[in-house]
Amino acid sequence: MPPLREDEAHKAEQRVAELRRLIDYHNYRYYVLDNPEIPDAEYDRLMRELQQWETAHPELATPDSPTQRVGATPLKVFAEVQHGVPMLSLNNAFSDEDVVAFDRRAREGLDHDGELVYAVEPKFDGLAITLHYQNGHFAQGATRGDGYTGEDVSANLRTIHAIPLKLPEDAPPWLEVRGEVVMLKRDFERLNAEARSRGDKEFANPRNAAAGSLRQLDSRVTAKRRLTFFAYGIGRVEGAELPKTHGETMDWLAELRFPVCQERRIVRGVQGLLRYFAELGAQREQLPYEIDGAVYKLNKLAEQEALGFVARAPRFAIAHKYPAQEELTVVEAIDVQVGRTGTLTPVARLKPVFVGGVTVTNATLHNEDEVRRKDVRVGDTVIVRRAGDVIPEVVAILPERRPMRDLVTPLHEAFAMPTACPECGAPVVKLEGEAATRCSNGLSCPAQRKQAIIHFASRRAMDIEGLGDKLVEQLVDKGLVRTPADLYELTVAQVAGLERMAEKSASNLVAAIERSKRKDLARFIHALGIRNVGEQTAKDLARHFGNLDALMQADAEMLMQVPDVGPVVAESLVAFFAEPHNRAVIERLGQTEAWQDGEAQPFAAGHLAGKTFVLTGTLPNLAREAAKALIEAAGGKVAGSVSKKTDYLVAGAEPGSKYTKAQELGVTILDEAQLLKLLETP
């Protein structure tokens, strides 16, 4: 794409910043609070839009972007397990075009002009787990959690008869198997029939039943519920040579007596993928378990390794999702909720409707512009979709069913965002170029105050164990906590006086708050909840400035010397630290030793700063990762494909289509010797 004009670049930066803020917020709601606000389809739309911006304009990509990270956190009920090999999630495809694009990216990444061979299998609607075997014996099992840290559910996994506790004698000394715990449809129906006979609450769907059963603290409860397991891959193996393909790996797992999916196939090219998707969809209702799509992986493990990973997902695999289930219902009211940064979000209160196994009563309407675009009004009949068969959204209204104006049923007016915050009554503002409307009262607004403190205490910030949403609400409502600094002055007596709190639990909380002190500077910056400053940006700022005083005194120009900090982020930082209230809170937190400073390690700009490289073919002496590291150390950037913005193509043996495209675009082409000379030249 052509370079953006200055005004276009500013709008693009604003949109990308807003997308990142929204995605980070909804990651928090979904993974940390287990209380999502938006349907998967809307989240995926935001993620796809952000990915499109970053692909079209690589200069907008940053290490802290949600596309680079995985946004989950495990519940702290069981002991934690650190995954030696991360359990990453998959990117999603929702259309044939998405699948075609995935195949094209894979072929370009491998410099492969023909059809690729893929292993395909159903996407189970269950709970991802990993199983560890030592010397052929089951040693430990854990949930995926955030991809890096999961929950130890070994005792519960032992109750699942499909999981072998002992492997054949030819099993390797160490084996880590990845797979999915599911509840078969027939067992789900039996479980709910038993619940009905006892007058107990029924489970909404097999996935909820499987997840709830596996997370029981009492394994005897899990044992009474018929769960099963399907292996779909390997995390790590020692003492054995892996097969060369994913299909052969699945066959090997079957030989080791692990249950594997019988519906798996090996196909060629895009047409093979789409044909399998259609055939699997036709069988979906007859399958013994619930699925929500198909998974496609490059079959050759060498090709998987060559494509590698981004922080959030593998490049060599994708999940192709089936269309969401839809139903009709009526909007009974439209309420407005206030989030951590003051964003006002309209929420449709719906006449209860059963969609995809769940009774839906609420659906987010995102913002005022979205409500007006869809023209959603109280009394309207609307299409509700559970995107990805999980979370509800209002897709559209049925205008022909809108109530007519009469004496009994007046026609409802179009929705308008309130001019005052529904929580504190302060005026609301809407900045030019933003879709969001915000309360102007900052942390004086109870709703913002609660969300700010919840974020401050969250696992990736100050990590205050036991300080959940309900407890924060009580602390704020009773006036015990107005700012994060107040947390460090709480007493056992104050906390013990709260609802559902006793002296022991109060003592535990106060001790947890004390343990949270002296966090590293990066965590503390992230905990402050500065708009547009995510976890990775907080790390970059901490590294560059070393101490908080230096960061607080920095102007926009100094801030933009930090990699990937642009005008929008710099403006957010300057505005935050210029606010007297924020400075006062930070001063109090400093007195409690909430954080500890480090040493400044400014990022070197390098003589290749601003230059974009693409690597292709096999270099004589340098591995690709080594070449990439050298380029980045000199300030350059390595992209995956050739475009008009590419400055240099580094070509080795058998360069493929990237070489041809570089020639067409007039891109400078270097061999390994020329690259090394360029790297040495200051």
Q: Which domains does the chain have, with CATH numbers?
A: 6-68 (1.10.287.610), 80-321 (3.30.470.30), 325-436 (2.40.50.140), 442-596 (1.10.150.20), 612-680 (3.40.50.10190)
Averaged pLDDT, 621-646 = 79
The band of 408, judged by pLDDT with boundaries at 50, 70 and 90, is very low
Which has the higher per-residue pLDDT, 507 or 309? 507
Residue 66 has pLDDT above 70, yes or no: no
pLDDT at residue 1, rounded to an integer: 53
Which has the higher per-residue pLDDT, 357 or 468? 468
Residue 272 has pLDDT above 50, yes or no: yes
| Cβ-based neighbour number of residue 348 at 10 Å | 27
Q: Please name the residue that has the structure tokens 């630290």.
A: 577
CA neighbours within 13 Å on the CB side: how many for 511? 6
592, 593, 582: which is closest to 490 by C-alpha? 592
The band of 70, judged by pLDDT with boundaries at 50, 70 and 90, is very low
Residue 406 has pLDDT above 60, yes or no: no
Backbone angles phi, psi at 463, to 5 degrees: 55, 60
- % of the chain surpassing 90 pLDDT: 35
The band of 403, judged by pLDDT with boundaries at 50, 70 and 90, is confident
Query: Which amino acid is it at 510?
Result: V
Q: To the nearest whole number, what is the mean pLDDT of the chain?
A: 84
Cβ-based burial of 119 (10 A; exposed 0-12, middle 13-18, buried ≥19): buried
Residue 32 has pLDDT above 50, yes or no: no
The alpha carbon dihedral of 323, 327, 328, 331 has a sign of negative
> Could you tell me the two tokens for 184?
């078969």
345, 395, 212: which is closest to 203 by C-alpha? 212
Backbone angles phi, psi at 286, to 5 degrees: -90, -10
Backbone angles phi, psi at 495, to 5 degrees: -70, -40
349, 327, 347: which is closest to 339 by C-alpha? 347
- DSSP state letter for 2: P
CB 396 within 8 A of CB 384: no
Residue 74 has pLDDT above 50, yes or no: no
The residues, any chain, with a CB within 8 Å of residue 678's CB and separated by 6 or more, are 608, 648, 670
Picking from 37-51, 80-94, 509-523, 575-589, which range would have the lowest pLDDT averaged per residue?
37-51
Residue 329 has pLDDT above 60, yes or no: yes
Distance CA 182, CA 160 (A): 10
Catalytic residue among 11, 76, 123, 244: 123
Question: pLDDT by residue (tens digit) across 80-96?
Answer: 888 888 888 898 898 89
Distance CA 279, CA 265 (A): 11
DSSP characters over 323-345: PPEEEEEEEEEEEEEE-TT-EEE
The alpha carbon dihedral of 472, 478, 483, 489 has a sign of negative
- Find the DSSP H helices in 240-375: 246-255, 269-283, 301-307, 368-374
pLDDT at residue 389, rounded to an integer: 47
Q: Please name the residue that has the structure tokens 């710099």.
A: 570
Which has the higher per-residue pLDDT, 632 or 532? 532
> Could you tell me the two tokens for 142?
């854990």
The residues, any chain, with a CB within 8 Å of residue 333's CB and separated by 6 or more, are 348, 349, 378
Averaged pLDDT, 232-261 = 92
Distance CA 330, CA 349 (A): 9
Residue 539 has pLDDT above 50, yes or no: yes
* N- to C-terminal Cα separation, the chain: 30
462, 456, 460: which is closest to 476 by C-alpha? 456
Query: Which amino acid is it at 519?
Result: K
Averaged pLDDT, 519-548 = 89
User: Kind of pairing, strands 317-321 and 92-93?
Assistant: parallel
Averaged pLDDT, 318-339 = 86
Model-wide pTM > 0.85: no
pLDDT at residue 35, rounded to an integer: 54
Which has the higher per-residue pLDDT, 162 or 131? 131
Averaged pLDDT, 479-506 = 92
Question: pLDDT by residue (tens digit) across 137-147?
Answer: 899 999 988 78
Q: Active site includes 645?
A: no
CB 309 within 8 A of CB 315: yes
Residue 270 has pLDDT above 60, yes or no: yes
User: Kind of pairing, strands 391-397 and 381-387?
Assistant: antiparallel
DSSP characters over 128-185: EEEEEEETTEEEEEEE-TTSSEEEB-HHHHTT-TTS-SB--TTS-SEEEEEEEEE--H
Residue 354 CA: distances (Å) to CA of 315, 335, 357, 510: 36, 21, 6, 43
The band of 487, judged by pLDDT with boundaries at 50, 70 and 90, is very high
Residue 566 has pLDDT above 60, yes or no: yes
The band of 564, judged by pLDDT with boundaries at 50, 70 and 90, is low
Distance CA 600, CA 227 (A): 52
Q: Please name the residue that has the structure tokens 């979709």.
A: 385
The residues, any chain, with a CB within 8 Å of residue 675's CB and separated by 6 or more, are 627, 631, 648, 650
| Cβ-based neighbour number of residue 300 at 10 Å | 19
